[in-house]
A and B are shown apart, each in its own frame.
Chain A
Amino acid sequence: MAIDITQFHETFFEESFEGLDIMESGLLNLDIGAADNDTVNSIFRAAHSIKGGSATFGFTEVAEFTHGMETLLDEMRDGSRDVTQESVDTLLQSVDCLREMLAASRDKTPIDVDRSEVLKKELESILATGNNSSTLAASGELKDHDQASESNDREGWHIKFTPHHDMLRTGNDPVRMFRELAELGELIVDVDISQLPILDDLDPEESYMSWELTLKCNVEIDKVKEIFEWVEDECDFELSEIKSETPAPDSAEKVQDTSSEVDTSATLHRAIAAKPQAAKAAAGGKTPANTDSASIRVSIDKVDALINMVGELVITQSMIGQLDCDFDDFDNSRMEKLRDGLTLLERNTRELQESVMRIRMLPISFAFNRFPRMVHDLCQKLDKKIELKTTGEQTELDKTVMEKIGDPLVHLVRNSIDHGIEMPEERLAANKSETGIIELNAFHKGGNIIIEIKDDGAGFNKDRIKAKAIERELIGSDEQLSDDKIYDLIFQPGFSTAEQLSDISGRGVGMDVVRRNIRELGGNIDVTSEEGQGTTFTIRLPLTLAILDGQLVCVGDEIYITPLVSIVESLQIKEEFVNNIAGQTELYKVRDDYIPIVRMHDMFGIGTKRESLEGGLLVVVEGDGKKAGLLVDELLGQQQVVIKSLETNYKRVDGVSGATILGDGTVALILDVDGLIDLSRNPPAPARNQESSIREVA
């Protein structure tokens, strides 16, 4: 039976890259000298899974390379080797190398063997040197069981192997394992087919057979067990040694060397610890390989919640179904029940919708995780001391947004490290602590997700930026610019103030690309800086695909949705609080605040019956730190709406962040409060002037 093993490759690579991430973050968290056992264990397990997987899938170079790492980690794990900076660094480099090797295997490009060889040598030399004596002692202890059962008079192994019915489904093929065994030495295979049902009842995906194997060869028990490692919890597996004195294999099976059995279970436990990942790989592999490589990992909680909700939905459905809809004698009590049922249905639907949406959301830690490593590496390279602080890692972000925000973030953090934070001496001289701090914060604010990259470094030198801009002819030499405008210059294409170019950053291709990427996501980026105190970049991202709590408002005949988060309050206008500036801008006095009135009718060019402001409704909104009052005709209900993009089929519209579909199937536009406030300051030219007909264009 041949299974096309390549269909599992994708899952394997995905698992492996994830494993590498675990290893990397684990390694960075290791305290030199006093390593935490759990961390080392998790690193080891990840390495172990990658090794096993790559061997199974025939990526021998990867497997061999990982083996070296695994050995080193194993020694760290059982305490026979101290965790040194040197070994951690080598392991980190190996993780990089492994990542490249895996990527090369995935893309079917040749693997850079030179690099892996160098690192392999390095690993070997670490293994060979160092606290070797204790290594021996400890590993000796570990192998005690083995040694007890190990004897020179061993002729081979007797293996009783009974796969569980569903073992084949996880992609494990006994034939492949036997072939591997046969490579170790002469193999005699006896198959027991007594459990095999008649052909009609036979399910080709199930395994009914069991085997008795005799391996005539003096090999280590580990070698044998390694082959069965991946199926341990999917089969009954007995291993016994054949001594030369016991010629008949059957008797050996009965005598059963106890020590070897103990050992089997001992390793079993160890392997089980390393198992979940592997089991997942196999289980995930069951789904047919998708042509579209995009996949998503969803935490089991979310899936469980979803299943619960579907369960409730089914119950509600049957409840409504039970009211048999004979409308002739439809009395009040049934009406009541129907109404209850519908209320329940509504709730279920909403919750279901929310959970489905949540599936696409990933915590931002996915994007933040790479930074500890980056900071670590760059600090070493630049001899700087930097501490990275992150908050709000659990803030959830849509998967697509997450993928696209990664590169801009890297760029910004890199800039902060390279240009922002000063050298330790400079910092001390400036009365700051030697260690610079870079903060990454993520949080929700006003219907947006905000990501802050904050450093306490040198800050921008306004004069230098200005000088550079003049030199690059971005601005005229006598132009007077506000601070904001000056900072804005760094987002111009081809602008870099780094005095020396380094290979880390400073080529000046960055910030404009960063801004463009963020704008493509419908977000924006701001920067504030104070010389000597540091710089803060603020990225504002929309919650795409998310559900929004909205207030429905009526303007003329149209319904618009105002995000509930941006609404401060709603009030009825009293004429005496309305003031004018220069007879144009209308201000409304709300307690001690004067806020501009935005007449939605004028803004959107909709006809209105309203003559005066008196009695009109003012929805006070806040966006971008600024307040405004939107004049609307009516406040309708509040409801949750699903944001649909206008840009998919049309384009961005000023003052509108998207659209949604109301209960009656019609489309309602969602107001972009920030945009509206901007728009009210610079009213758009009437649309008709832009382009009225094709005749003029043609």
Chain B
Amino acid sequence: MRHISSIIKEVRSEASLIRTFRLDRELNPTPGQYLMLWIRGVDEIPMSFSGPDSITVQSVGQATEALFKMGAGSSVGLRGPLGNGFVLQGKRILLIGGGVGSAPLAFLGEKARSEGMLVTSLLGFRSKDDIIFQERFEALGDVVITTDDGSSGIAGRASAGLKEFSLFDFDQIYLCGPEMMMWDVISRTREHAAKTQACINRYFKCAAGVCGSCCLDPDGIRVCLEGPVITADRLLESEFGRYRRGPTGEKGPCRG
């Protein structure tokens, strides 16, 4: 896919290190899809859509720091939407988000609601100051919040909120967040793995399914092209939650 140029129309702060960047064009993405954002002269990084024309970014490194210096009117390069995205199914759905990983789920939830589905959300954050999109989720239906430090909602990780629900009530579960948070959820909810769609992250280099840097063991799933949304039953039998390869291709521990 060719690179195109886009102007940032608006920048909004969501939490201390999280900002939403609204772009000057709608790329018609499916929630769960991503774009490759080119900060000219710095790097190109994958970012999930948090709305039809927006991305929500946590500042974690050189490229995102450079992006945070940009305001409305700045120009970025991009290619996308890329990857497969979430598939909406059933009547009642549960969204389980962790940190900035909640962003694509807010976009998904809004699409589900507009199609008449009943949407429930379970969202985990580090503390009350890190909560994002609370109003967006509350407009969709019931919301349970957890914080690691107990400053808001239930104390603990997102999985601590699972006891608030019977997962059998939901036709489909959608998951996005740090890898160990997602692993924590799917390893505790194995009987629901076939109806759980997780949006995962690996090191993307080409984002075109050819370089091989994001392939998942043991089946060689190309996460950039055949993901980033993968059902939990496939993840349970993969490297997910155990190790991941970095920029050199060497195996390392999972973060988060």
A and B held together in a complex: no
